[in-house]
Amino acid sequence: MACLASRVPYSITYERLRRLSEAETYMRQLTRVGRLRVRGRNHIAGIEVGRDDRKVFFFLMKTLWTLFGLSSEAWDICTSL
């Protein structure tokens, strides 16, 4: 696994690294996806998923997105970035 510090663009602090680590652990438990990284940019988290796990990950995330009543148009924008 790559160093957590490489996932924060600037001002690396223990708190930021702890949050990234916790976010990765949570997302792995939620999705059961092994190759997953979270990158922190201010108040936005970028989630990177290995090519083999993308279909499973996107299916689970779209299901959660729908469950919480979020717009499918916003989901399409997020997945196309």
The per-residue pLDDT for 57 is: 84
The Cα–Cα gap between 8 and 4 comes to 8
Q: Which domain holds residue 32?
A: 4-80
Count of structural domains within the chain: 1
Decide: 28 and 48 in contact? Cβ < 8 Å: no
The 10s digit of each residue's pLDDT in 35-44 is 888 877 777 7
The 10s digit of each residue's pLDDT in 13-58 is 888 788 888 888 988 888 888 888 887 777 777 788 888 888 888 8
28 against 5, higher pLDDT = 28
Query: What does pTM read for this prediction?
Result: 0.66
